[in-house]
Structure formats: structure tokens, C-alpha cells
Amino acid sequence: MKKQAFNPYLPSWEYIPDGEPYVFGDRVYVYGSHDQFRGHAYCLNDYVCWSAPIDDLGNWRYEGVIYPKTSDPLNKAGNMCLYAPDVTVGPDGRYYLYYVLDKVSIVSVAVCDEPAGRYEFYGYVHYADGTRLGEREGDEPQFDPAVLTEGDRTYLYTGFCRAGDRSRSGAMVTVLGPDMLTILEEPVFVVPSEPYSEGTTFVGHEFFEAPSIRKRGDTYYFVYSSIAMHELCYATSKYPNRDFIYGGVIISNCDMHIDSYKPAEKPMYYGWNNHGSIVEINGQWYVFYHRHTNGIPFSRQGCAEPIQFREDGSIIQSEMTSCGLNGGPLIGKGEYPAYLACNLFCKHESMYTAPEGSWMDSRFPKITQDGKDGDEETGYILNMRDSATAGFKYFDCHGIKRVSIKVRGYCMGAFEIKTSWNGEPLGSIPIGFSNIWEEYTADIAIPDGIHALYFTYKGEGSAALKSFTLI
């Protein structure tokens, strides 16, 4: 039986950012880095893989560890992290995994005979003389590899460029030969960093990190994270290694720039960095991206949304939703966990989870879980203080007359239920202090039709929201 598809699309206790989705056979596979719950740094865990049938995108299967971080000869002690990877099918039909460790600036490669088997270390990308890419004088550091194989040539895209850093030129592409390691054509720059964007189409959305590459028809789509960090942008070209032109924003993990349901520059979630790509599944294109949890940058979860192309090939920016891969709104009836919130904000407005040098404090609501990393504990929303709002999109509602919520915490007040972020309440559910999850119910009629649902806390103290039920 097909399951409804949610955001995040994996279980709430799994933290797989930097998602690179691919369809192999009748399944879609997602490769990414692997954060820890409440981690102190990015990408602390081994690479794992998840997959789902292409016709049942709510039914994800854990494929297990595909590559331990100690597999790289440079990382036998496991003191380096596995940063964002990518996978491509080589001319020999095998699957090649490209990645960079966090303390070196060279590209490592592993190989496997199947999409989600156990990958084995294969080698390092190098010039014909054996010098590793990133170690020759004049080389810029390698970071976030993305790969596209066409025939006997593999295009390797890399780069990391902070705003103002004149030592980094932008995103580069290097052409590899059929052995998947040896450089045929040396790096050339295809998308500029901020210091070198003057006179280009990229001003204001210069390359920061997270390159990814896809081809649609005869057009190459270069997906990347801009200097704004929270947005995934794209550039297009008819060639894989030149003439890219800025296209626009595909998704923002705080919904910036969207003015269809709120002011364009109002953040509706707490963003930070972003990384993902686009993929066609059963005739529909999607963007995969990640969101931040726990009020820190280091516990990221994968999300996905459908995208639409205009006739000229440009992409319309997608909203963050709770139902991204579902093919439409969720059933407007029954119980839903609170971690599905796609909007999360309060009166203390912030675009990022953690401004430089600080951590998001208890003023701000955040998605979290109980237990420790690896515990299969369902997520919930913590720090729901006065004005805190959790938004869920979208639900096809019919005949809903009552709403219940599960709450715990040192709190005394009520949750208002609305169908728009700043709309008039349809009703409210009074709550009180409890050390355990307590269910509260009120008679609240939701109009028939497709709606967003917003839960706004008004009162004293701090509430934790576990779930809501439409009755």
C-alpha cells in the first residue's frame, strides 16, 4: 500500500543533508553526507543510502552503510569527516562515489557494482603525471564534488568560495578519462565567486558551495548554493564546461523571495547553508534540499519539493511544504507529527539558525527529538513560546469539526489555529503545564478545501508540540 510522502522524506531521526538523488532502475536513491543529532560539526557519520520505489515516494528503505569514513587510506583513524558526495555510473557500468575529506583538498573516489552496495576505495583524482588534483601549484582547493558522465568523459565540478575571498575564483569543472581518475582537461571556472562576478549574470547570487549537475534535454543545469547560503540557485548552458548563465533560485530553506503567501523577504523557517539537486521521477521533476534542526547548523534533514519548468526552461521557485513528494496535499484527517512543520518562526525574526559566533537560544522554536544520535525517536517542536508559530502545508480538508494537539512543558496559554500565517484564528485550544505528553481538544471547524494550517502559541512559559489531529 502506498504511503503518504512527507517532508522530511526520511524518518525524523535521520539526518541526511546534501542530497543527490538518482533514478536507477525502478528506484530512486539518495546519496548525501550524514550529520549527527546534536552534532558539534558537519558530516560526523558514515555514508549511508536510502531508496524508494519511483511510484511510491513515501516508502523509503534504509540501504545501510555504503562507505565507512575509515575506508579512505588518508583517514584510517577516522578523525576526518566525509563531506558531501556524488555518484555517477562509469563507462564500465559500475557506480563511482566522489567525495572530499574535511581536512584535505583532494578528491577521493570509491566504487561499487551496485547503487547501494558496499563501496570500496578506488583512488584519487590526479593529473597524468600522478599529481593529485588540488596539490599542484596554482590549484584551488577541491570541495563538494559533483559528477556527470557522458560516454568516456566524466565532468567533475568542485569549489568553495566565501564572499570576499579573492583566493577562490568560483566553481570549476575538470574532465576525467574513462578510468574515472585521470584528468584529460584541466580545471576551468564556470560560475564566479563574489569577488569576480562584476559584469556577469551572477551578481547577488555568486557561487558559494554545493555544486551539482544535471541534464534536461539538451540543457545542462548547474545547481549550487549562493553566497546567501539558504538558497539553491541554478545556471544553464548548452555545454557542460562553459557559457553558463544565471537562471534563478530553485528553493530557499527559509522561503525567502517568495511573495505568494507572505512578504517576499520574510523568513518562514530558520535557514543556514543549503545543498541538493534536481531529478526527474516518473515524469515529474523535484528539487532535493535540506533544512536545519535543533537550532544549530549541524543536524540537517533532507526535504524535497516538486518543481515546474517554464517553456523557456527556467524554473519557478518552489515553496517549502510538508508534502513535497506526495504528488498533492496530504489527507486532511487524522494525526500528523509536528516535525513536519515547513514554516517555523516567532516574533524574534531571524533568517539563520546560528548567526556567526552564536547559537540559537530558547527564544526560538526548533525541531528536535529525545534520546541520542541513532535513537529512533520521533521528532517534535521545542521552545514554543508566546508568538511561536508552526505551519504545515498542505491539507485537503473535508468535514473537520475538531482539532486536538499533544503538548508538554512549563506553559499556560492556548494554541490558535489559522489557515494563513497572519490570518484570523479559526479557534484556539487551551493548554496547561504537564511533564508528560498531554492531549488537548477543541471544537474548531476547518473550511472544506486545500489549506495550510498554522498553530500559534499565545501564553506564558514554553510548550513542546508533538502532534496535531484533525477530527
C-alpha cell at 63: 540501504
Per the annotation, the verdict on 18 as an active-site residue is yes
3-state secondary structure the chain: CCCCCCCCCCCCCCCCCCCEEEEECCEEEEECCCCCCCCCCCCCCCEEEEEEECCCCCCCEEEEEEECHHHCHHHCCCCCCECCCEEEECCCCCEEEEECECCCCCCEEEEECCCCCCCEEEEECECCCCCECCCCCCCCCCCCCEEEEECCEEEEEECCCCCCCCCCCEEEEEEECCCCCEEEEEEEEEEECHHHCCCCCCCCCCEEEEEEEEEECCEEEEEEEECCCCEEEEEEECCCCCCCEEEEEEEECCCCCCCCCCCCCCCCCCECCCCCEEEEECCEEEEEEEEECCCCCCCEEEEEEECEECCCCCEECCCCCCCCCCCCCEEECEEEEHHHCCEEECCCCCCECCCCCCCCCCCCCEEECCCCCCCCCCCEEEEECCCCEEEEEEEEECCEEEEEEEEEECEEEEEEEECCCCCCCCEEEEECCEEEEEEEEEEEEECCEEEEEEEEEEEEECEEEEEEEEC
Task: Say which of 18, 140, 255, 416 is annotated catalytic.
Answer: 18
CB atoms within 10 A of CB 196: 18
Cell 499565545 appears where?
Answer: 458
Task: Say which of 209, 231, 319, 416 is annotated catalytic.
Answer: 209
Per the annotation, the verdict on 443 as an active-site residue is no
Q: What residues are annotated to the active site?
A: 18, 209
